[in-house]
Chain A
Amino acid sequence: MSRRQRGPAVAGLFLFATVFIQPGWTLAEEPEQPEEPRAPIQVASGNAGKNYLKLSLNGLVAAGGSTESDVTGLQLGSHDPSRRGFTLQNVELVLDGAVDPYFTAQVNVVFVESPGGETEIEIEELFATTSSLPANLQVRVGHFFTEFGRLNTQHPHSWDFVDQPLSHGRMFGSDNLRSSGARVSWLMPTPFYSELYLTIQNAFGETLTSFGWAPGEEVFGATMASASVDGGGDLLYVPRYAFSVDLTDNQTVLAGVSSALGPNGTGPDGRTRLYGGDVFWKWKSPRANQGFPFVKFQAEGLWRSYRADGIPVSFEDWGAYGQLLWGFHRGWVAGARYDRMGGDEGPMADPFVEDRRRASANLSWFMTEYSKLRLQYNHDERTDFDDADSVWLQFEMILGAHAAHKF
């Protein structure tokens, strides 16, 4: 859903509010009647258990500064710190539960502070997933993060850094690659974990950087064509294969290859191809206390071929990042990341394709599972701009249920 459709989203929020703040229905417990004892119906609450859905609210705030005054040009993600001073990075309401014996569902309603300081609302994800299809199949339908690589499907709460990697900002967009569609995945009958995914989604919209973009928007001097699906070729196809093995009792590797193939909005013959590889390795102590100590490494590489229609713009570029996180003491994690973007410069000096490098270091302190502080330093090098040094301090809090993390 476009972030610009604020009206319906506000109405939706109002609806949420009226549902959750019904006195005596969700929040207050009525005294039991002596004759007919009846438990109050719990529609939602922060804890698992006697209610139909789990509710949680996650808030991320950053403060800091940069030698670069145009922070939005430096930071590519819409959940990144976007200015000197304070940024409300992300406020996310997550609701999830079982629909019925056949589906589970999750909704992520996100509130972000616009550069103008207003609160904008978007439905970041809303999807249902099957619980028990035969033949080890699973289907997801709705609006969701595209199953490509590792980081693309993660919400800012799960990130190991204050910001998203440059490669993701440039190729997947400020808010990662997501759209409305369906995903089929097959858990393969191998002795080790091995899963095949195929996601098919609409290829047009603000969250489809590299593909359709928002119709009417200018990219490389071309106005994006209107969005319509006249055939299968107008959709986005994303196959992915992932596998994992336990190297030892305490070490696990998860790796995958993905590609995203679809039209771009430059015209009927505009096509984009994205290929990616990802690897994640983790060691955790066999005597881990609250999950500490651990060491984990994660890297992703992306390669893009962009062929425009109507304008003489075709280029190939790539981006990659690697990061190492060390949970050296209960609650404490030190991290380092290196980001690199390269490839054809394109016909014009466009910030969309310039060469970039970034080195980051950070230190996170998880006071509990529900709050954390993170201090991060970024050093940016760009071909067309001055080098920049930035320091960000991030605070996170979670109210209510804390959804379990995937590996």
Chain B
Amino acid sequence: MIHSRHKFRVAMLALLALVPGASLTVAGLKVVATTPDYAALAQAIGGDEISVKTLAKPAEDPHFVDARPSHVVTLNRADVLIESGADLEIGWLPPLIQGSRNRKVLPGEPGRFLGSGDVRLLDVPTELDRSRGDVHARGNPHFLMNPENSGIVARRLAERFCELDADSCPVYRANLTRFNERLEQKILAWTGRLAPHSGAKIVTYHNTWKYFAERFDLRSETFLEPKPGIPPSPPHLGKVIAKMKAEKIRVILVEPFQSRKTAQTIAGHTGASVVDVCQFPGGIKGTDDDYFALIDAVVDAIAAALDQAAAP
């Protein structure tokens, strides 16, 4: 069986060599992830059996990625497309899929993986009304900031990879087991690190950290944006400052693409500290392609700022 598969691969490679410009990568499944967090999870499960490419860059706003023509080519040659499933990429993914002409990644195909499957989404609006800002119709898409949701995605990825590439299924299963063991340990460590600050309030720029806060028992209810997608305005920031002073909120989270200057101004008025965080591996130095390293860095940074705030 393995022998015949090998023969088939050699034949395919020989055939591919005849097509000018065709990719000669030997890796099995060609996986494309919309954002680097899914890429990191896919790589953890797929290991050497898959090759992974990412469309969005770690430090850019994932809602506004350019639909570059090179992405059309990447998608054209993909076996699997991983997207959030919660409209995070709605502003740029549809024309890429249309341009790719790739049947494997069309809706409903096994090659189209929606990250939101089996995940309980928060902030699902009961009514759609843009006077409340640019609300995601399907709910808050930043759910991978709760590591338990990443566990759900990892499990479903392993199932999906097995469905698409049964030969390598034992490897995917083994990788999943290893991932889960590590995730379990890490969640214990992260929970322990943040436990002294149970119930602490944090301010964030956009409503990105809801899932993280929920999992680690923090309160993320104050945002620098007056409404989702609406830039901070002086009257709103005035209210935020008053609230932070009244409730003694001492931590402001900012992502690489958000205005650090605004956060620093608020920090200057309130004595809070600005903490640089990111949703995506690679958006913080030393976290490239590694989901665990990313959450390590985020938890450390937030815990350190809360430690400092709690110090007498």
Contact = CB atoms under 8 A, between A and B. Distances in A.
Contacts of B231: 330-331
Nearest to B20: A189
B258 interface: yes
Contacts of B87: 48-49
Given A190-B21, A289-B259, A290-B63, A407 B91 contact: no
A289 B64 CA distance: 8
Contacts of A330: 231, 259
B61 A407 contact: no
Given A48-B137, A49-B87, A287-B256, A252 B19 contact: no
B64 A290 contact: yes
Contacts of A368: 130, 134, 229-230
Contacts of A136: 76, 101
B98 A104 contact: yes
Given A187-B72, A187-B76, A402-B91, A288 B98 contact: no
B91 A191 contact: no
- Please report whether the interface of chain B is mostly helix, strand, loop or mixed according to DSSP: loop
Contacts of B130: 368, 370
Given A47-B137, A133-B101, A244 B106 contact: no
A244 B68 contact: yes
A36 interface: no
A246 B70 contact: yes
Contacts of B19: 189
Interface in B109-146: 128, 130, 134, 137-138
Interface residues of A, number: 49
A130 to B, nearest CB: 8
Interface string A91-126: 000000010010010000000000000000000000
Contact of A193 (B69, B101, B102, B138): B69
A242 B259 CA distance: 37
B101 A191 contact: no
B73 interface: yes
B238 interface: no
Given A132-B101, A287-B59, A368-B229, A404 B76 contact: no
Nearest to A289: B257
A191 B21 contact: yes
Contact of B73 (A187, A331, A405): A187
B11 interface: no
B92 interface: yes
Contact of A407 (B69, B102, B230, B256): B69
Contacts of A285: 60
A192 B73 contact: yes
Given A48-B90, A189-B19, A288-B61, A132 B102 contact: yes
Interface string A117-150: 0000000000001011100111000000000000
Contacts of A370: 130, 134
B173 interface: no
A100 to B, nearest CB: 11
B107 to A, nearest CB: 8
A230 interface: no
A254 interface: yes
B243 interface: no
A24 B85 CA distance: 28
Contacts of B22: 189
Contacts of B134: 368-370
A290 B62 CA distance: 8
B196 to A, nearest CB: 32
Contacts of B107: 98
Interface string A27-61: 00000000000000000011111000000000000
B40 to A, nearest CB: 18
A249 interface: yes
A184 to B, nearest CB: 12
Contacts of B100: 187
Contacts of B95: 404-406
Interface in A244-267: 244-246, 249, 252, 254
B106 A282 contact: no
A129 B259 CA distance: 40
B245 interface: no
A192 B70 contact: yes
A357 interface: no
A291 interface: yes
A289 B92 CA distance: 15
A46 B134 CA distance: 12
A287 B107 CA distance: 30
B300 interface: no
Nearest to A193: B69
Contacts of A47: 128, 137
Contacts of A46: 128
Contacts of A45: 128
A284 B92 CA distance: 15
A286 B67 contact: no
B103 interface: yes
Contacts of A291: 61, 64, 66
Given A129-B98, A286-B59, A246 B68 contact: yes
Contact of A289 (B61, B98, B99): B61
B13 interface: no
Interface centre among B19, B69, B91, B130 (most CB of A within 10 A): B69
Nearest to A250: B57
28 contacts: A46-B128, A47-B128, A49-B87, A98-B107, A131-B98, A131-B106, A132-B102, A136-B76, A137-B101, A187-B76, A187-B99, A187-B101, A189-B20, A189-B21, A190-B21, A191-B73, A286-B57, A288-B60, A288-B64, A289-B258, A290-B63, A290-B229, A330-B259, A370-B134, A404-B67, A404-B94, A405-B92, A407-B66
Interface of B: 19-23, 57, 59-61, 63-64, 66-70, 72-73, 76, 87, 90-95, 98-103, 106-108, 128, 130, 134, 137-138, 229-231, 256-259
